[in-house]
Amino acid sequence: MQITPPYGFSEVVPLTKTHRVRVPQGRTVPPTFRSMTLLPVSCSEFPLASRDYPLAFISGDQGRTFTPMAVLGFEARQNLFVQPDGTWDAAVYLPAYVRRYPFCMTRITVNGEVRPERVTCIEKQALDDHGAALFDRQGNPAPEWQTLEKLLFEYEADMARTEEMCRLLAEHQLLEPFVMQALPNQGQPLQMTGLFRIAEAKLAALDAGSLEELAQKNFLGCVYAHLFSLANFERLLGRRAALAATAPAGPSKLN
C-alpha cells in the first residue's frame, strides 16, 4: 500500500482509533507551513481569503489543470504571516489547509492501482504516545475529533467543487500566465513567475451561456474575489517591508 502525502505534508499514515496525536493549539503554525510561500485555498474560502492574500492559480501539468493558491511571500520559503512566536497573524484569515493539520484525506495505491475512495490520514511525525486520544476506550470519538473530522469532510467536499471550478475556467480558457513584479523601497526588484490569473478581456467576451453556468455554480463570485485580491500584492509588499524594519540587526562588520 502506498500513500502520497499532500502538499506540505512529509509522511502520512492511515488514522486509527488507537492513535494519540499532538494537535496544534490555537493559531500555532506547524513547522512545515512556516516556510510556505504558496498555500492551497478552496473556492468557499475565496471571499474571506481575498481580503488578506493575493489569490493566484498554479499548474503542475503545463496548463491542463490548475490549483488556486494564497500567496504568502515573494521569495522562496517565505511566509510573511507567521509571527515571531510561531503563530499565524491573528488579524488575518487562517486557511483551512493549516487548520486541518496534521490530518488529511488522500487516496491510496494498492498493487499499483489507485483506489477511488479517500482515507483519513495523519502526519506520521504528529503521532505521540503522550498526545491526545481522539477516541475513548469504547471507540467513541472525542469532541475535539468530531470538530476536526467535520472540517476534514467539509474541506474535502469543497476541494472537489474547487477542482470543478478550475476545470471550467480552463475549458473557457480564462486563465493566463502573469509575472508579478515589485520594486521595494530598499533592496533588489522582486519577481514571481509560474502564476496564473483570470484574463479580464476573455471574461468580458464570454458568451451568456458560459457566464450563466459559472453563476449558477456559484463560481462567478470566486472569479471576482480572485481579481479583487490581486491588489493585495501591494499590501504584501508593505508587510514585507514592515517585517524587515522590525527584524533584529545582524552582527556588524569591522573594516
Per DSSP, the residues of 243-255 read HHHHSPP-PPPP-
Is the pLDDT confidence value at 195 over 50? yes
Q: Determine the average pLDDT of the residues in 30-58.
A: 96
* pLDDT at residue 247 in the model: 67
Q: Determine the average pLDDT of the residues in 49-62.
A: 96
Pick from 98, 99, 72: which is nearest to 243 by CA? 72
Mean residue pLDDT across the chain? 91
Cα–Cα distance between 124 and 85 in angstroms, integer? 24
* pLDDT at residue 253 in the model: 37
* pLDDT at residue 252 in the model: 32
* pLDDT at residue 88 in the model: 96
Contact 66, 166 (CB under 8 A): yes
Using one digit for the tens of pLDDT, what is the confidence trace for 96-139? 999 999 999 987 777 777 777 788 999 999 999 999 999 999 99
